[in-house]
Amino acid sequence: MNKKIVLISSILLLSMLAAFSSFYFRSPSEPIMVGVYYYVWYNGTKHDNVVDEPLIGWPNYWSNSSYVIKKHLKWFQELDLDFIIISWWGFNTFTDDVARKVFETVKNESLNLKIAIMIEPFNETGTPDAYNYTEIYNYIYENYVSPYPSIYMQLNNRPLICFFNGNLTKNLNFFDNRYETRIVGSRGNQQSEWIYDIPTESPTLCVDGEINVIPRYDISHWKNFSKPIDQNLTEGIYDKQWNKVLNLARQGKVRIVTITSWNEYAERTQIEPSWDKTSSLQKNNPFYLYNKTQNYIKQLRNTIPGIMPPEAFALTIIVVAIGAVLALLLLIRLIMRRKGEL
């Protein structure tokens, strides 16, 4: 009878160890990609709806400056970003010229960074029929996808193109099979596939396993009726968002993390090293949000999808240990009994 007990205990113990190992040490099927929304519309002047100042300084802050582009790319590398999404405002515009220069710089510098284009509502009429979508798709393909095949970001093995929602995306027949098209925008817009919105403590997990984090949202300095979200960065919303991302990543549910934003200064969502002009945690530390972001990305890189939460891990260790002790005691008892019989 004791032999059977020992055998059963041993089999149970080995099964538990095998299950634990396969669950805890399971490798991710693919790495999680992290990227940031990048705005390239600055021309060396402080806009009327902006209060803060980039560390580079407004007089030097030209989006088409080689110095600024290379400085940003250096910071992107330090953050360990996989991709950037460039805000694009139409054919042969300032942002179009800058976007091409960013692509070219990444190519010349041989950087491991992917880039996608986000189409903004560049036509002021704002109606769907004001946009020639075929022309847009062809232009992006000819000027960005085709010349930079190793740089342009792929999603599901096709180039990714984003459209900011609203009137721009009301025409439901604007898709092109050459691309993976994603509509980006507020959670209040039913067309939004990737949520790009004011921050909440619990960001939404979207299609493609995409999830967005945003440190704060504050346009109260130019829209008096707007209520700021974590204006002084004291509510910890950014930390709560990242903690949810990490928890979902452990469950293997996160595939893409987008950060709003690198440098959207009008809405004060920027994580770029900058000087806050209000009383906030970043007021005397221009790298406050940058360093925080870097730390969370490092944590994300060390997160294995499928890994147990700490509580479940501790409980499993206890159960396995108890099983091992019981099996050992039964084995000792059997050995002692055999010696007694001899």
pTM score: 0.83
C-alpha–C-alpha distance, residues 76 and 294, integer Å: 10
Angle at 207 between CA 39 and CA 202, to 5 degrees: 75
Lowest mean pLDDT among 93-102, 173-182, 213-222, 323-332: 323-332
Percentage above 90 pLDDT, the chain: 68
Judge whether residue 20 has pLDDT over 80: no
Query: What's the half-sphere exposure (Cβ side, CA atoms, 13 Å) at 122?
Result: 19
User: Dihedrals φ, ψ of 47, to 5°?
Assistant: -70, 155
Question: What number of helices (H) and strands (E) belong to the chain?
Answer: 7, 11
Band of residue 334 on the pLDDT scale cut at 50, 70, 90: low
Burial of 37 (0-12, 13-18, 19+ CB in 10 A): buried
How confident is the prediction for the chain on average, in pLDDT? 87
Q: Provide the 10 A C-beta neighbour count for residue 77.
A: 13
Task: Look at 12 and 114; give whichever has higher pLDDT.
Answer: 114
Q: What pLDDT is recorded for position 239?
A: 98
41 in Cβ contact with 90 (< 8 Å) = no
Name the residue among 147, 213, 142 with its Cα closest to residue 176.
Answer: 142
Q: Could you report the per-residue pLDDT of 280-299, keeping only the tens digit for each?
A: 999 999 999 999 999 999 99
Q: What pLDDT is recorded for position 173?
A: 78
Place of tokens 């039913």: 190
DSSP per residue, 27-40: PPSSPPEEEEEE--
Hey, what CATH topology would domain 31-306 get?
TIM Barrel (3.20.20)
Band of residue 341 on the pLDDT scale cut at 50, 70, 90: low
C-alpha–C-alpha distance, residues 86 and 161, integer Å: 10
Mean per-residue pLDDT for 60-88? 98
Q: Could you report the per-residue pLDDT of 300-331, keeping only the tens digit for each?
A: 999 977 655 555 555 656 755 676 666 666 66
C-alpha–C-alpha distance, residues 78 and 290, integer Å: 10
Q: Could you report the per-residue pLDDT of 174-199, keeping only the tens digit for each?
A: 899 999 999 999 877 778 899 988 89
Percentage above 70 pLDDT, the chain: 80
Band of residue 25 on the pLDDT scale cut at 50, 70, 90: very low
117 in Cβ contact with 162 (< 8 Å) = yes
Place of tokens 């740089």: 151
Judge whether residue 94 has pLDDT over 60: yes
In angstroms, the Cα distances linking 273 to 13, 32, 78 are 53, 24, 12
Name the residue among 125, 126, 127, 106 with its Cα closest to residue 115.
Answer: 106
Name the residue among 182, 213, 268 with its Cα closest to residue 34.
Answer: 213
Give how far the C-alpha of residue 318 lies from the chain's centroid of Cα atoms, to the nearest Å: 35
Every domain of the chain and the residues it spans: 2-21+312-341, 31-306
Q: What pLDDT is recorded for position 171?
A: 74
C-alpha–C-alpha distance, residues 199 and 230, integer Å: 9
Judge whether residue 210 has pLDDT over 80: yes
In three-state secondary structure terms, 233 is coil
Judge whether residue 95 has pLDDT over 60: yes
Q: Could you report the per-residue pLDDT of 197-208, keeping only the tens digit for each?
A: 889 999 999 999
